[in-house]
Structure 1
Amino acid sequence: MCGINGIAALSVQTKVSEQDVRSMLPPLYHRGPDGGGVYLDPGQRVGLGHTRLSIIDLAGGAQPMHNEDKTVWVTFNGEIFNYVELRKTLLKEGHRFHTHSDTEVIVHAYEQYGDDFAQHLNGQFAIALWDDSRQRLLLVRDRVGILPLFYTSQGDRLLFASEIKALLPQLSEAPRISPTALDQIFTFWAARSPNTLFEDIFEVSPGHMLVLENGRLRESIYWDWHFPEQGDYHQGSDSDLAEQLYAILADATSIRLRADVPVGAYLSGGLDSSALVALIRRHSNAPLRTFSIGFEEQSLDESVFQKQMIEHLGVENNRIFCQNRDIAENFPATIFHAETAILRTAPTPMRELSGLVRASGYKVVLTGEGADEVLGGYDLFKEAKIRQFWARHPQSEWRPLLLKALYPYLETSGAQAKTYLHNYYSIGLDKPDQPGFSHLTRWFTTSQCKIFFSQELNARLSENAVDRLTEQLPAAFNHWHSFNRAQYLEAKTLMGDYLLCSQGDRMLMANSVEGRFPFLDHRVIEFANRMNPRLKMRALNEKYLFKRAMKDQLPRQILERHKQPYRAPDIPGFFSAHPPAYVDDLLSEEKLKRYGYFDAQKVGFLLKKARRGNSIAYKDNMALVGVLSTQLCHYFFIEQFSQTARETGASYPSLTSQ
């Protein structure tokens, strides 16, 4: 992957300068340390910038890149995995190529297919394409949102870039944190696309294309998650469908091994990463190196399963060990790269893991991200299924006890425990057909963190985050099976806006590493979306068809182990014997009041509990991480705006020079 940026004029009187375009490059150097370039069109209507991470055609893939007569130019971040096949097709149509890079297929695909060119791309991408003959700019983001692309207007110019930091050198003043975005983060874990944490800075939504023409910006959707109406599913035996799923996954994996540099893989020890590594081993003869994380807290550590897969497949493995104090020490860098507030520290170890990948001499890793969303693997889907069953007889005493099958460690025999179980999981039970039913318990828990919002912030909130989401759901949503509705919500809230961004691309590219995601190949998604939900979850056995497809390649213990979601330690590292100074400073009463987002007194009470070493509730744990990360965002991007706008690559303003 790489970093892209650019400026486009919104009026005929405006001219774009090469110097301004170049000023946006330094904040992107960590995304593309291997080279860079700038294109300015003859009429100075648009300027395109690029920082390169060399993966394919190391000698000939420099950008911005053009077609034969230099009328179409592109700056591109990502990979087009079917570029080999697409190149052959375009050659037959008479197009002439001057490189062997995947980038060049983009300009020729645009020439051949017009605005439909993205439909022909199998990949992960953020594309800025300038058609000089028609004086139009296209901004395009991949189907599921693996790669970021941000934009804003400044006067009569449109600015765009792979990261918000690259917009700052061209802003006349510091951005402002959006109350609406904070409300969404403290509900869904992330601001909902196209919103970002900052007012008037937006992102191109997944599967969307923006076209700037004649000074006007219009938006279109070229791809979305679609599910059939109930009953209109794939036909065939479980065995036949498992074979078809395997074939698609195998090809999705194989084409993601295309590179002119070594390719590695993440191995957590869970089903998804284990299956991915098994697929790589079966369909590639190249030596394979895997990368894993171990944790100080035993409840989070999966080392025993990682070791089992390493021995089973005979792969070489590099591993880091994450201690609680590592979280606190590295959290500011996490937020600087994420460019948003977050409620969990989980991205921090992922940034450390990508650092291990880079230090080991690798630029590319494959990961199992997306399998749970696509194939139905989360406990949340099981919860929703049980709650749907419970809703048919809401007075039942035994139906809610099925939740114990998900969480056997829950004590449900006492009266108090039963009351808690009933009150928590019965949220929305009276309306099981409401659009957000599957996610209401999660959203309710997260929303309780808003009790720490200041009066000033609450006064600026003008809409309910959940109501706004449900208003924007597609018209066909209510005709889908309840399981598929849950999948859509998960993909459109948590996966695209948090997992693939804050925990994915931003933590990978902080260390100049490209992640590739076979389970998010659009062919895999489209095949899975037409599967009968019973093939995704049979009774409470998640990913039934996927397990059947992989049963001959994985140890039984891996196939049958209970889903363990990736988590990292949160509070303990921030309040150890020697906590980092920035925590006390940013959570001080003075800073909380000055920044204005949170109630200093309420946060103070929570801090006292944490400092005493008291066990604090799950929601309070999220709240404290959310408050601290918001304070860090304000410090980096508002208080230290001028310095951040001048920083190069992965550096950030010191937290001790205040």
Structure 2
Amino acid sequence: MCGITGAIWNRPDGAITPAQIQGMADAIRHRGPDDEGFYNAPFHRDAAGDVPGVGLGFRRLSIIDLEGARQPLCNEDQSMWMVFNGEIYNYPTLRRRLEGAGHQFRTDGDGENILHLYEDVGLDCFSHLNGMFAIAIWDANRRRLVLGRDRLGQKPLYYTIQDGRLLFASELKSFATIPGVLETIDPAAIDEFLTYQYIPHPNTIWKGVFKLPPGHWAIYQDGQLTVKRYWDIAFDQEEKISEPEAIEQLRELLTDSVRLRLQADVPVGAFLSGGIDSSLMVALAQKQRTDPIRTFSIGFPNKDFDETAYAQQVADYVHTKHTRFEVQPDGVSIIDKLVWHYDEPFGDSSAIPTWYLSELTRGEVTVALSGDGGDELFGGYERYRALWLSRKLQQVFPVHKLPGLGLIQKLPDSSRRRSIVRRGKRFLEALGQPAPRRYLNWLQIFPESMRAEMYADGFVSQLPGEDPFEFLHDAWKRSDGRDLVTQASMADLQTYLPCDLMTKVDIASMAHGLEVRQPMLDYRVVELAARLPVAMKFRGRRGKLLLRSTFEKEIPASIWTRPKMGFGVPISDWFRNELKPMVHDLLLDPNAKLNQYMRPEAIASMVQLHVSGQQNHSYRLWNLLVLEKWLRRWTGGSQPVQ
């Protein structure tokens, strides 16, 4: 697990110096505190023409082959060089095959297998990898740079092409060390951020800077970039399979996925929230260990946001060595840390507990398993139940035309996490919309109507014609012909999972030098779940049916039936208490940077309605606060480097 950076240039005057590559790597030192490495080859000409200049930078977090496996790695004749971030879990199998084909290995790590595999099968190499990764390969014989990202977007990879050169990095802050790269904010990205609380791939907050989408490779050759998908699922295809067959396949695949992710030469533990997914990962991991696995949960003084009692039940049941951390989350101080590390506006407030949990877990282990992906794959989110229920109601009568609906919308909100009024209002206001729009209404932070009312006229004129909704809709349409729950869950798999959840976990964990592995996201498990009939996963408002049928006795019965809490902090109360001064100082400041995009009176009204308890705008205020903080941190006139 590491951080990678690099560049390729086609003209001598576009060269990135070794010192600049060093600076790009230094900016992400936190991703790899154990080691560093570099490769540099200047632009030159030979008998065949121009040979691009190349620089590769690497920061290492040592997990496997601690003394060896240093990067950049090269092949036998040094015609290919590679840096990569991630873990390849099937590398022992790959190695045996590659050694049988005559390849010579210098290391015992997983990375060298990628390079030799690329030698044998070229761009098809990514399809052979089971793991999480962001990869850059300099192929001197073909004079091309190859980039690749894992199927589910677990590891990030950014790139930009400017002035005849391409730069890439694990985090945007590496680009901030090169003058002139991060210059112009993309207005469309702000609109996308306020819709989703993240900026969807391939866009970033900066014009001309992009994320390589999950499951894609890119080639930069002769000054041209080609991007292509290498992994795809036929989301519109449902498999005819019996439940016993599905149970057998799921048990085999998920057990093997956990086994592969326990490989390490450093201490391995697991996050344990007490929810179904993390509990199941812990149980399957403990069955494959002779010693108690280390498990970690985090609690808060506010009991509405503390589920550590459930985690302790699981730990006792499967006999792990459990540690419960309790923290008093400090919204005032942590927001600056998040703004620095997440590089672009990121408004998912569950990054806060993820940050604390990663920081404290890293004090005990270097690798942690997590249960990410279970909700998307097996129908676990409450919004899937809402989608199912709304369809049932619409089949009976037009609920959205009921008298008194407007009165319901005026009821005061509660700050309680599972407020029935707040959830009911969001449900009812979306009933009259087509299913994809209805679903976005439950997901989005600022509805389109609210954004239109809030935006300044000058900002509206800068926005493109594309609607942020198209990002979700394009993913939704790939499951045409399937039921609504499948369409929603598979859309989440392509959008919310990589752009929100994986970003949140990667940045929070790597900020502390912790590697997080997600067994649910083994591509074999994902492919199985995607083609299963919905009735095996979700039925009668209940999700994760197949998980329970397969693994019911692995975890306590109470965990299967407990209410879902998610992972959050009491930001609604914060805005009425400890964050109230910050809101007034930043969002209501006449010189707020947000004022170049939004009408100050609209923001002031939102603040007043929340503080008075008339409406709950907590998530909207958090996103606005993050955006204002980000604008001040990264566009303040000085070079945005810590």
- TM > 0.5 fold call: yes
Query: In the alignment, what sits opposite 1:132?
Result: 140
1:183-220 residue CA offsets vs partner (Å, 9 max, x unmatched): 11222222110011222211111011110011100010
Q: How many angstroms does 1:557 deviate by?
A: 0.3
Matches within 5 A, 1:616-631: 617-618=615-616, 620-631=617-628
Q: Is residue 389–residue 399 contact of structure 1 (8 Å, CA) maintained in 2?
A: no
- 1:49 CA drift (Å): 0.4
Q: Residue 445 of structure 1: CA displacement?
A: 5.8
Distance 1:355 1:452 in 2: 37
Task: Quote how far apart the aligned CAs of 1:147 are.
Answer: 0.8
Alpha-carbon deviations, 1:75-99, whole Å to 9, x = none?
A: 1000001111111111111111111
- Aligned match of 1:26: 26
Structure 1 pair 641–210 and aligned structure 2 pair: CA distance change class (3 A):
farther
Q: Does the CA-based 8 Å contact 2:134-2:149 persist in structure 1?
A: yes
Distance (Å, rounded) in 2 between the aligned partners of 1:7 and 1:449: 41
Q: Tell me which residue corresponds to 1:652.
A: none
Tell me by how many angstroms 1:444 deviates: 7.8
Quote the RMSD (CA, aligned, Å).
Answer: 2.7
SS in 2 for 1:198: coil
Per the alignment, residue 111 of structure 1 pairs with 119
Residue 523 of structure 2 corresponds to residue 522 of structure 1: yes
1:463-542 equivalences in 2 (<5 Å): 463-469=465-471, 472-473=474-475, 476-501=478-503, 503-542=504-543
Deviations 1:432-487 (CA, angstroms, capped at 9, x unpaired):
5xx55543443386445524333332222223434533674487532333222111
Separation in structure 2 between the aligned mates of residue 475 and residue 277 of structure 1, nearest angstrom: 35
Q: Give 1:370's aligned residue.
A: 373
**Is this contact kept in 1: 2:476–2:487, CA < 8 A?**
no
| Partner in structure 1 of residue 410 of structure 2 | none
CA–CA separation in structure 2 for the residues paired with 1:363 and 1:275: 21
Unaligned runs of 5+ in 2: 44-51, 404-416
In the alignment, the residues of structure 2 paired with residue 398 and residue 13 of structure 1 have an alpha-carbon distance, to the nearest angstrom, of 66
Note closer, same or farther for the CA distance 1:199–1:409 as it changes in structure 2 (3 Å cut).
Answer: closer
- Which residue identity does 2:429 align to in structure 1? Y
Are residues 1:146 and 2:157 paired?
A: no
AA aligned opposite 1:92 = G
Q: How many residues align?
A: 620
Mapped partners of 2:27, 2:234: distance in 1: 37
- Equivalents in 1 of 2:171, 2:201: separation in Å? 15
* RCO higher in structure (CA 8 A, sep ≥6): 1
| Aligned positions of 1:269-288 closer than 5 A | 269-288=274-293
Q: Percent identity?
A: 31
- Residue type of the partner of 2:541? L
Instruction: Look up the match of 1:650.
Output: none
User: Using the alignment, how far apart are the partners of 1:250 and 1:496 within structure 2?
Assistant: 23
Give the match's secondary structure for 2:371: coil
Distance (Å, rounded) in 1 between the aligned partners of 2:268 and 2:447: 37
In structure 2, the CA distance between the partners of 1:61 and 1:282, relative to structure 1 (3 Å rule), is same
Which amino acid counterpart does residue 41 of structure 1 have in structure 2?
Answer: A
Q: Does residue 1:394 correspond to 2:392, yes or no?
A: no
Q: Kindly indicate whether the alpha-carbon contact (under 8 Å) linking 2:593 and 2:632 is maintained by their aligned counterparts in 1.
A: no
Q: Which stretch of the first structure deviates more once superposed, 507-516 or 176-185?
A: 176-185
Please say which of residues 590-599 and 627-636 is displaced more in the overlay. 590-599
Q: Do the aligned partners of residues 553 and 470 (structure 1) sit closer, same or farther apart at CA in structure 2, a change above 3 Å counting?
A: closer
- Decide whether aligned partners of structure 1 residues 635 and 476 sit closer, same or farther in structure 2, where only a CA change above 3 A counts: closer
- Give the aligned residue type for 2:558: Q
- Correspondence 1:615 to 2:616: no
Q: 1:10 to 1:217 in 2, by over 3 A?
A: farther
- Equivalence map 1:2-151=2 (5 Å): 2-11=2-11, 14-41=14-41, 43=43, 45-151=53-159
Distance 1:628 1:422 in 2: 26
Would you say the 8 A contact 1:438–1:486 is kept in 2?
A: yes
Shift of residue 100 of structure 1?
Answer: 0.4
Contact 2:195–2:447 (8 Å) recurs in 1: yes
Q: Is the 8 A contact 1:268 1:292 kept in 2?
A: yes
Over 3 Å counting, the alpha-carbon distance change for 1:289 and 1:204 in structure 2 is same
- State the secondary structure of the residue aligned to 2:480: helix
Counterpart mapping for 1:588-607 below 5 A:
588-592=588-592, 596-607=596-607
Which stretch of the first structure deviates more once superposed, 589-598 or 176-185? 589-598
Deviation readout 1:489-535 (Å, 9 max, x if unpaired)? 2122221111110x210111111111100001100000111111111
Pairing 1:382–2:416 present: no
Q: Which amino acid aligns with 2:239?
A: Y
Q: Residues 328-347 of structure 1: matches in 2 within 5 Å?
A: 328-347=332-351
- Which one-letter code corresponds to 1:147 in the other structure? K
* CA distance in 1: counterparts of 2:129 and 2:622, whole angstroms: 38
Change (3 A) 1:18 1:581: farther
**What is the Cα deviation at residue 604 of structure 1?**
2.5
TM superposition shift of 1:593: 5.3
Q: Report the Cα distance in structure 2 between the residues aligned to 1:638 and 1:199, rounded to whole angstroms.
A: 14
Question: When the two structures are superposed, what TM-score results if normalisation uses the length of structure 2?
Answer: 0.91
Aligned to 2:48: none
Rounded to whole Å, the distance in 2 between the matches of 1:42 and 1:340 is: 32
Q: Residues 410 and 609 (structure 1 numbering): CA distance in 2 closer, same or farther, change over 3 Å?
A: closer
Residue 262 of structure 1 corresponds to 267
Deviations 1:14-50, CA, capped at 9 Å, x for gaps: 4442122112111110000101011012546111000
Distance 1:313 1:50, change over 3 A: same
Name the structure 2 match of 1:352: 356
1:112-149 deviations in Å (ceiling 9; x for gaps): 11100000000000001110111110111110111111
Moved over 6 A (4+): 396-400
Contiguous gaps of at least 5 residues in structure 1: 401-406, 648-658
The alignment partner of 2:532 has SS state of coil
* Shift in Å, 1:595: 5.6
Q: Which residue of the partner structure matches residue 654 of structure 1?
A: none
**AA of the residue aligned to 1:347:** A
Native 8 Å contact 1:148 1:162 kept in 2: yes
